[in-house]
């Protein structure tokens, strides 16, 4: 009997090598190469050259985003760009126990009120799915549960039922008999995701697939999985906290900056219509090192609290710890505070946190981070009725930000009285009667105006 040919594939990036290596040359991960059997391929070119589709002028084609199906959850529709697009393939990932299956079961229950929905469960038995459905109050006869991991059987069931929505939980458990590798391997995940993508496009059926994540927080499996799908959603949050954030990182039919905020309750995930109130709940007004800023996520501004703690370090090298903000960005702000504002922070530990589990990625929050750090260092309170907005440059200047009016309108709606903004943004304001606008040029001016003595 001829010996089977094998290869080693990196389970993180998909790199292939004929021999085993301790460290992947592509991504640098240790112990990620797994052995797979090379499937035999038919040599020669197929004689079947029949064309399944013909070229058509682009003027005769219909836009994929014109007809969308509401998911029954407004926060999810916002993240998807207005609803579920027919024929789309959506990947949702997140930590174990974060609520991915709960969210998709709620969507399935809402959509099943008007059409058939196929829920493919590869990790749970039908009785377990039924137990969760009872807890969520889902009792629809159009919601069909299929406990299956065989890709061929799943395809046959989708073709015979022709549902309006398909949920596969999860892609790492599905396998095809055409490959000899184990479920969850790079080749199995790629092949099964490719088949689901082709079926979604051919039958115009939207398909949601659940993806596991690695310890670094990335989708487990090859990166090609994120390239195949139309939309990639990440479900974020702490399992020991009730709030969850659904973040879009790829969307062919909408914006990639939108987020949806949910709260985990006994009856499932409930929508949070005003995230600013959630992120500002529990804020203390009599403690130094706390500032409020306005960050724009997609189409709406969200007010969040930035906390900082500066203490003298007992060690030779001070610590720099951040949660919710980029540590490299905080390091730049610390250098600017030392050079331009004269704050000697080289002998102090600095901790920066964004309250509520939010994540700040845009530079418009630089000024609030700087004011929070300076407030803790000087032990001086930042005025609790003030929202601080602005990008900080290396020379200490405060630069303009986009959508300043919507940020200020959200601040006024929540009862704030003052708003510190870059002076270059004042020419764009048309309506700010409810707020006292304080324009600053440099970070030194902002520090003096933000704090109370």
Residue 360 located in a structural domain: yes
pLDDT at residue 447, as a whole number = 95
Residue 52 located in a structural domain: no
Same-domain check for residues 250 and 318: no
Q: What is the CATH number of the domain that holds 437?
A: 3.30.230.10
Residue that finishes a domain, picked among 250, 273, 296 = 273
Same-domain check for residues 284 and 335: yes
Same-domain check for residues 27 and 79: no
- Name the residue with higher pLDDT: 307 or 226: 307
pLDDT at 239 over 80: no
Same-domain check for residues 157 and 250: yes
- Name the residue with higher pLDDT: 67 or 153: 153
Q: Which of 125-129, 186-190, 342-346 has the lowest mean pLDDT?
A: 186-190
The tens digit of pLDDT for each residue in 303-360 reads 999 999 999 998 889 999 999 999 999 999 999 999 999 999 999 999 999 987 788 8
Tell if the pTM clears 0.85, that is, is over it. no
Residue 59 located in a structural domain: no
Residue 394 located in a structural domain: yes
Same-domain check for residues 370 and 325: yes
What residues make up the domain containing 237?
A: 67-273
Residue that finishes a domain, picked among 273, 305, 320 = 273
Residue 58 located in a structural domain: no
Same-domain check for residues 263 and 314: no
The tens digit of pLDDT for each residue in 13-51 reads 778 888 888 898 888 888 878 777 776 554 444 455 555
Same-domain check for residues 329 and 407: yes
Is the Cβ–Cβ distance between 315 and 326 less than 8 Å? no
Give mean pLDDT, residues 261-281: 86
- State the total domains in the chain: 3
Residue 178 located in a structural domain: yes
Residue that finishes a domain, picked among 273, 304, 326 = 273
| Percent with pLDDT over 90 in the chain | 56
Same-domain check for residues 113 and 239: yes
Same-domain check for residues 92 and 192: yes
Same-domain check for residues 263 and 312: no
Q: What is the CATH number of the domain that holds 96?
A: 3.40.50.300
pLDDT at residue 181, as a whole number = 78
pLDDT at 91 over 90: yes
Same-domain check for residues 307 and 222: no
Same-domain check for residues 265 and 202: yes
Residue 86 located in a structural domain: yes
Residue 342 located in a structural domain: yes
pLDDT at residue 294, as a whole number = 95
């Amino acid at each position: 009997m001829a010996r089977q040919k094998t290869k080693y594939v990196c389970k993180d990036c998909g790199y292939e090598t004929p021999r085993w290596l301790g460290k992947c040359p592509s991504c640098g991960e240790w112990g990620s190469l797994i052995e797979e059997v090379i499937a035999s391929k038919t040599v020669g070119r197929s004689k079947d050259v029949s064309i399944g589709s013909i070229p058509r002028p682009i003027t005769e084609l219909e836009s994929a985003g014109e007809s969308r199906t509401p998911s029954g959850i407004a926060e999810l529709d916002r993240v998807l760009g207005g609803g579920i697009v027919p024929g789309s393939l959506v990947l949702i990932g997140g930590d174990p126990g974060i609520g991915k299956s709960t969210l998709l079961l709620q969507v399935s229950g809402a959509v099943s009120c008007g059409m058939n929905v196929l829920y493919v469960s590869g990790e749970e038995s039908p009785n377990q799915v039924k137990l969760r459905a009872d807890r969520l109050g889902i009792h629809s006869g159009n919601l069909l549960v299929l406990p299956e991991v065989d890709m061929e059987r799943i395809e046959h069931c989708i073709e015979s039922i022709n549902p309006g929505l398909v949920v596969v939980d999860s892609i790492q458990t599905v396998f095809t008999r055409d490959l000899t590798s184990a479920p969850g391997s790079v080749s199995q995940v790629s092949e099964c995701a490719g088949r689901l993508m082709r079926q979604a496009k051919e039958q115009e059926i939207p398909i949601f697939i659940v993806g596991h994540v690695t310890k670094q927080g990335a989708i487990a499996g090859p990166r090609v999985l994120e390239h195949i799908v139309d939309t990639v959603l990440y479900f974020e949050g702490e399992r020991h906290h009730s709030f969850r954030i659904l973040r879009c990182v790829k969307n062919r039919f909408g914006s990639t900056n939108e987020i949806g905020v949910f709260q985990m309750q006994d009856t499932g995930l409930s929508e949070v219509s005003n995230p600013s109130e959630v992120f500002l709940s529990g804020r203390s007004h009599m403690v130094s090192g706390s500032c409020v800023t306005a960050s724009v996520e997609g189409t709406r501004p969200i007010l969040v609290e930035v906390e900082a703690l500066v203490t003298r370090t007992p060690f030779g090298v001070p610590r720099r710890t951040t949660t919710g903000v980029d540590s490299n960005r905080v390091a730049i702000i610390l250098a600017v505070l030392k050079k331009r504002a004269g704050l000697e922070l080289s002998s102090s530990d600095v901790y920066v946190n964004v309250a509520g589990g939010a994540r700040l990625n845009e530079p418009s929050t630089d000024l609030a981070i700087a004011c929070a750090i300076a407030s803790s260092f000087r032990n001086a309170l930042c005025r609790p009725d003030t929202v601080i907005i602005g990008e900080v440059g290396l020379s200490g200047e405060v630069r303009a930000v986009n959508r300043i009016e919507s940020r200020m309108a959200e601040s006024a709606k929540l009862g704030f009285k003052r708003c510190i903004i870059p002076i270059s943004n004042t020419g764009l304001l048309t309506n700010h009667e409810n707020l006292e606008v304080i324009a600053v040029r440099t970070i030194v001016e902002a520090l003096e105006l933000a704090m109370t003595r």
